[in-house]
Structure 1
Amino acid sequence: MPTAVSQPRTLYDKIWDDHVVHQQEDGTALLYIDRHLVHEVTSPQAFEGLRTAGRAVRRPDCTLATVDHNVPTFSRKNFKSVTDFIKEPDSRAQCEALEDNVKEFGLTYFGMTDRRQGIVHIIGPEQGFTLPGITCVCGDSHTSTHGAFGSLAFGIGTSQVEHVLATQTLLQKKGMNMLINIEGTLVPGVNSKDVILHVIGVIGTAGGTGSVIEYAGSVVRAWTMEERMSVCNMSIEAGARAGMVAPDEITFAYLKGRPLAPKGEEWDQAVEYWKTLRTDEGAKFDIEVHIKAEDISPSVTWGTSPQDVVSITGKVPDPALESDPIKRGAMEHALEYMGLEANTPMESITVDKVFIGSCTNGRIGDLRSAANIVLSFPPGSRIPDHVQAMIVPGSGLVKQQAEAEGLDAVFKRAGFEWREAGCSMCLGMNPDQLKPKERCASTSNRNFEGRQGAGGRTHLMSPAMAAAAAMTGHLTDVRKHLLGEGEAGDAAAQKAQIKVTSAFDYLTDEVLPPPKPQGYAGAADETDLPANAAAGSSAIKFTVLRGIAAPLSIPNVDTDMIIPKQFLKTLKRTGLGNALFWTLRRVPGTEEATDFILNKPPYDKAKIMVCTGENFGCGSSREHAAWSLLDFGIAAVIAPSFGEIFKTNSMQNGLLPVVLPQSECQKLYEDATNGLDLEVDLDKLEVRRFNGEPSIPFEVEPFRRHCLLNGLDDIGLTMQKDDFIVDFEQKRSDLWPWLDGFGYKKGGGRIDAKEVKKKATKMDW
């Protein structure tokens, strides 16, 4: 709650302080969550956990659900039901499970017959569900998108999804403040996607680890909300927990009149509060990065990490010039995977497919930008025969607006496929995938190996750049195809055919009176909990672990590498051990084993993994990465640093992430290479070696150590503080009444909650 604080504070500080329900001595805070978005991939196990424990969703009015990751994007003209429409069994099962869960737990749901269905990070802002000053979470790493509104928004794992559903809170440790200030004037042809790719190229995919980034400067202030969302969206690719932009008049104009935004006197009250959400003069940042806009050109990735980025006028880097052996090895591997040679001009690289969409670039402004590039070519121009290009709007309302403006006709005349809303080829959990060695110009957010399809090769870029690549058949400097103001000729006349409409013309679905929040459904049934869990808890105890350690020398081990997306289509938390490092353990397209370390005795029985590369577990919020390691038998990972969400997910499941300096990791790597056991002792906080060398000490947050040693469950601990939560909710309603209650009438709509079944259903934990 707002308090009188004399010390200058950052935007992050203010929102954090306003949402602390209870503070522990070690700094761990119980943080209240204002908005929770739910989709089909990371929620089944969370709802099953509620069902097994006999718990209800605490605040249905603060939760919004949709399907997006698994849904096919081809025509729904003959759609009758999810069961009939989605052919892939595991995808269908997850979508059916979400439909069942929203009915049972009484949640607002945008299903496949609802025109408002779309990607969670597009429909939240579109509906006014996302507001300044809030905390917002989702079981998806790109929840950072919502920070563009001056909110604290971050991705969480499935265990935390369950925690928020049950308690509307999360246990969090505050991160560092990081400022990225962008001043100057962007050259024509450079947009926000180019800016964030440039930023990641400068600071690296671990540059923001442990931090929340605030984007500021004249460039950011001049951007539209859509441009700000694209930048905040990819904060996670820079290793940050979240990205934020202070709200201003551009923010307020975007929100006013949206279905779930405050109205009347509450609007005035909200704006008065929102105007206080800016970093105070004199506030200190832990890290500051200053970038000149004039240094940024249209950018494109060349490798398998978002930090592998160069100007479109540049060349593929040469690994031979890299002095760090780990980085050099990673570059060589990336070039081999991408099928590229060092010093190749980027504009000479041909493409097979083009994807314009995703939560990064699937909004109306992105589609307009791409259409304008298509219209800059002579009338009748079409994409080359060897190119397949698809446009996937981020929501049903974006699709409807684009069609009203004639954008779909522009694309279809040029040979693009016009699709229905969904995540599509961003991660390829649906039928939209690359084939092995196919090269894609993509507006998505990740170019990890296999991200868009096993063996697929992804180059990240802006919508305008992707459209130019589609029309030319190769990576192209978009600045060659910009339409100037007042330009004569057929192209300018054709451009004029686009009729710009207002998004508010399509936000016409009726909002119902606020539903009443539900309480808890009952106490946990302990009959199905693990034998080594503490009483009343589902958590696993961790004390001492000894065993074979598997050595790994790869930087930026991402979650797509740990477990590819095809294995996320599960309703369980177990059975994923065989999927661990699948693309490294199998010859592409076969079941044949490679010589990867985990395939070799004795490492196929490893209990510990030692990685010398930084940023282990970067990327997605998929808790499946931790589940697959545990299911394989690995219960501790030692590395110089970890992705923030992966680290939290590991702790939630009894998997211990041990952070050690790279020099110490190298010593343990050599022990592991020699086949020696290691012993990780959480009680004494040391890694013991069995070659006569001294033990190596490590540190773990005291609260997390306490929970792991005693097998304590976060939800159970939080429920002991229910009085604090109730008190906070009362004050919250008094201060910010516009955050309470909503419902919808049409489409999937809100289904009034039924009493939650208290029968404990057996589930593999």
Structure 2
Amino acid sequence: MPAPNAAPRTLYDKVFDDHVVKSGEGDTLIFIDRHLVHEVTSPQAFEGLRNAGRKVRRTDCTLATVDHNIPTASRKNFKNVSSFITEGDSRAQVCALEDHVKEFGLTYFGMADRRQGIVHIIGPEQGFTLPGTTVVCGDSHTSTHGAFGALAFGIGTSEVEHVLATQCLPQAKSKNMRINVEGTLTEGVASKDVVLHIIGIIGTAGGTGCVIEFSGSAIRSLSMEARMSICNMAIEGGARAGMIAPDEVTFKYLKGRPLSPREGEEWDAAEAYWRTLKTDPGAKYDIEVEIKAEDIVPTVTWGTSPQDVVPITGTVPNPANMPESRRQDAEKALKYMGLTADVPMEEIKVDKVFFGSCTNGRIEDMRSAARVIVASGKNGGPTQCAEGVYAMVVPGSGLVKQQAEAEGLDVIFKKAGFDWREAGCSMCLGMNPDQLKPGERCASTSNRNFEGRQGAGGRTHLVSPAMATAAALTGRLTDVRKLMGSHVSDDGGIKITSYADYLEPLIPAQAVADEIDPAAAAEAEKAEAASLADAAKHASAGMPKFTVVKGIAAPMWEANIDTDKIIPKQFLKTLLRTGLGDALFWPARYDVNTGEKIPDFVLNKEPFTKSSLLVCTGDNFGCGSSREHAPWALNDFGIRCVMAPSFGDIFRNNCFKNGMLPLILPKEDLEVLYKDAESGQEITVDLENSQVVRPSGETIKFEIDAFRRHCLINGLDDIGLTLEHENLIVEFEAKRTANWPWLDGVGYAKKGKAVVPIRAPRKKTDW
């Protein structure tokens, strides 16, 4: 608890402070309450544990599932992963995770489990996500869980391994940013429109280095599903995380879920703590943004960045009317999207509609879309997908699918011509067979419209579920309000029952082994900790040292070079950290149709084929996904240092974890270095003396966090450093159990016992 005269704190400050294990030199070591694991960013992490002889420290704090690259086709004839997934690399990743969860004793929702689904949907629906917790996952959209007042952020594979081994992470304190949305949202405006509008205002780098707290009467009026959609896309605004203070809406959503605190004393204690999780009066924010809810209308993206937004009532922007700094990027985006400036957005035809993802794959999203179909029919509008349009609905979890089918939503979709699928990430990132073909245009409820995100050459327009449905029915981007008429608030006769009926709360886990003697367990844990710390010192040898790097630098000028562009999704289906150099910048480096190298791309030209440095004059390098494959690909190519005005937070962290230097420099210095790079001369990055040496001998001084610099120069391994503070971690865990006992393993796993979850009798419903 803070001292009586302590300075007022923000919501973020409070949650961060409550998880400090060690502060001082370097980043603060914080404890992680909840860790979600999936098949794409975990194989190399588990392999790292195995090689170092480490175990998963807290199996009760870890929940695993498959979502990113599993097929969403019918599982009617599903027998096992090996026979069901035909694509070899995808099958290998899923099989690897199934082996890992058995080996390391983790709770797992596999493809035969109806609780399987997208990590950011199953966490909240199981009550695994709780207010005041720290939540991480090897996926950038982990910010979703911030809707509960949790500090939730995406991490790379090295950090996945770090959390598995230590249940802690070294973290730099972020800045505080508040986006306050006051007023009443007009009919037809959804949370997706709100967050797209926000990103259009602040830009994709507006929240860099910050945790955004969303506040205001418009935010408080939203459901939990809607709040999750907003926090989900905080990362698209450059933020480390997004948060919303918990309130009655939060508590009602959580009550009775399988892993929520048990009703009674435990629930009362938890709720009392949760009610303190709000920003104190007088607390200061580093950045504040005020938005009027009445200014927000149904919104759609036009370009290849989530910041490229316009109202559906608007037109395709004209680059000639933009600031010079944005003009070149806008022209490139319009060329890729096949759009002409000044064309009304409602005249743009679509080929496909994708409805799903961790942004909009929840039951409320399904209901919203179904209402559009029903209301359109009542108003004499279309009730069938337009001719030539393929529309797919992909529920976010097996439980969402079951609930939607119980309410008859699937029948509404099927009658309208939508393809009703199984749970998974699907076309959001196109790692499974659900992809766009080159040139196809899609209205999508997902979160990113990067080049090739949903399929090589595919063109994506981000919209809300209601807007996606309107596009499916009309065959073009359409203002959904025209179809809804007076039925915007009508439920269309859809029967809505309690979602909680489908969660089947688990009876408290039963021990299947004898109780462990406490004294013997403590002695064994102490011995194990000592051996792990010792092993960690030897494991550090694998980290390459970074002292002086001299070589050719590849010059790039674009802003917002995202991780999809650095390494597209088809190369994420690997179980290794190496061998990705040839795939680096694949979408720009190779012809999509022939696979041949594009001669004009910088890394295909001499002398840049041998680059060990990269100079980029555009902001926000490495924005987007948490995939650590991006720095792995750069490293594998031979690039050890990227110089840019700013970086995506997760990409920057991932670079440090791989012995690489993401160097932030002023634009004027980068312009000079860009010209040096263009000439093909060698540049030297001297970390020991904190300077960049130009070919002329002139030096450019830079600053870098002293602890980061020390670790790079000495090739120090983060996990080994953390395990040196094993005593502090144990002390924190004891305090955590005393103060927040509901966070220790209940339901699926319990520390100190071998357990199995027992299903409660199914509750009968009345539809």
Q: When the two structures are superposed, what TM-score results if normalisation uses the length of structure 1?
A: 0.94
Instruction: Report whether the alignment pairs 1:672 with 2:677.
Output: yes
Partner of 1:250: 249
Shift of 1:498: 1.4
Partner of 1:703: 707
Q: Which amino acid aligns with 2:499?
A: A
Q: How does 1:417-566 map to 2 (within 5 A)?
A: 417-484=419-486, 496-513=492-509, 523=531, 536-566=540-570
Question: Quick one: distance in 1 between partners of 2:540 and 2:314?
Answer: 59
CA separation of 1:526 and 1:427: change in aligned 2, threshold 3 A: farther
Q: How does 1:169-318 map to 2 (within 5 A)?
A: 169-263=168-262, 264-318=264-318
- CA shift digits 1:89-110 (9 cap, x unpaired): 0000000000000000000000
Q: How does 1:331-370 map to 2 (within 5 A)?
A: 331-370=330-369
Question: Quick one: distance in 2 between partners of 1:332 and 1:523?
Answer: 58
- CA shift digits 1:198-250 (9 cap, x unpaired): 00000000000000000000000110001100000000000000000000011
- CA shift digits 1:570-604 (9 cap, x unpaired): 00000000110001001122221111000000001
Q: Alignment length, in residue pairs? A: 736
Kept in 1: contact 2:130–2:260 (CA 8 A)? yes
Partner of 1:152: 151
Kept in 2: contact 1:688–1:695 (CA 8 A)? yes
Question: Quick one: distance in 2 between partners of 1:109 and 1:34?
Answer: 17
Shift of 1:540: 1.4
Partner of 1:7: 7
Q: Tell me the secondary structure at the aligned position of residue 376 of structure 1.
A: helix
Shift of 1:742: 2.7
Question: Quick one: distance in 1 between partners of 2:508 and 2:148?
Answer: 25
Question: Quick one: distance in 2 between partners of 1:641 and 1:744?
Answer: 42
Kept in 2: contact 1:58–1:167 (CA 8 A)? yes
Kept in 2: contact 1:106–1:751 (CA 8 A)? no
CA separation of 1:55 and 1:535: change in aligned 2, threshold 3 A: closer
The percentage of counterpart residues that share the same residue type is 66
CA separation of 1:522 and 1:86: change in aligned 2, threshold 3 A: farther
Kept in 2: contact 1:53–1:522 (CA 8 A)? no
- Runs of 4+ deviating beyond 6 Å: 514-518, 524-527, 750-753
Q: How does 1:717-728 map to 2 (within 5 A)?
A: 717-728=721-732
Kept in 2: contact 1:511–1:744 (CA 8 A)? no
Q: Which amino acid aligns with 1:356?
A: F
Q: Which amino acid aligns with 2:85?
A: I
Partner of 2:56: 57
Q: Which amino acid aligns with 2:597?
A: A
Unpaired runs of at least 5, structure 1: 754-765
Kept in 2: contact 1:2–1:18 (CA 8 A)? no
Question: Quick one: distance in 2 between partners of 1:70 and 1:190?
Answer: 32
- CA shift digits 1:446-500 (9 cap, x unpaired): 000000000000000000000000000000001112253599xxxx7xx644110
Partner of 1:580: 584
Kept in 2: contact 1:352–1:387 (CA 8 A)? yes
Shift of 1:703: 1.1
Shift of 1:702: 1.1
Q: Tell me the secondary structure at the aligned position of residue 542 of structure 2.
A: coil
CA separation of 1:752 and 1:688: change in aligned 2, threshold 3 A: farther
Kept in 2: contact 1:106–1:752 (CA 8 A)? no
Partner of 1:413: 415
Instruction: Report whether the alignment pairs 1:623 with 2:631.
Output: no
Kept in 1: contact 2:131–2:274 (CA 8 A)? yes
Name the stretch that deviates more: 384-393 or 4-13. Answer: 4-13
Instruction: Report whether the alignment pairs 1:24 with 2:28.
Output: no
Unpaired runs of at least 5, structure 2: 758-767
Kept in 2: contact 1:352–1:473 (CA 8 A)? yes
CA separation of 1:91 and 1:175: change in aligned 2, threshold 3 A: same
Instruction: Report whether the alignment pairs 1:716 with 2:720.
Output: yes
Question: Quick one: distance in 2 between partners of 1:409 and 1:675?
Answer: 62
Shift of 1:523: 4.8
CA separation of 1:511 and 1:41: change in aligned 2, threshold 3 A: farther
Shift of 1:698: 1.1
Question: Quick one: distance in 2 between partners of 1:524 and 1:668?
Answer: 45
Q: Tell me the secondary structure at the aligned position of residue 83 of structure 1.
A: helix
Partner of 1:567: 571
Kept in 2: contact 1:178–1:287 (CA 8 A)? yes
CA separation of 1:618 and 1:663: change in aligned 2, threshold 3 A: same
Name the stretch that deviates more: 587-596 or 311-320. Answer: 587-596
Q: Which amino acid aligns with 2:476?
A: H
Taking CA–CA contacts closer than 8 Å with sequence separation of 6 or more, which of the two structures ends up with the larger relative contact order? 1
Q: Which amino acid aligns with 2:314?
A: G
CA separation of 1:186 and 1:214: change in aligned 2, threshold 3 A: same
- CA shift digits 1:132-189 (9 cap, x unpaired): 0000000000000000000100000000000000000000110100000000111111
Question: Quick one: distance in 2 between partners of 1:303 and 1:525?
Answer: 49
Instruction: Report whether the alignment pairs 1:681 with 2:686.
Output: yes
Q: Tell me the secondary structure at the aligned position of residue 484 of structure 1.
A: helix
Question: Quick one: distance in 2 between partners of 1:90 and 1:58?
Answer: 29
Q: Which amino acid aligns with 1:254?
A: Y
Shift of 1:743: 3.9
- CA shift digits 1:27-74 (9 cap, x unpaired): x20000000000000000000000000100000000000000011001
Q: Which amino acid aligns with 2:126?
A: Q
Q: Tell me the secondary structure at the aligned position of residue 143 of structure 1.
A: helix
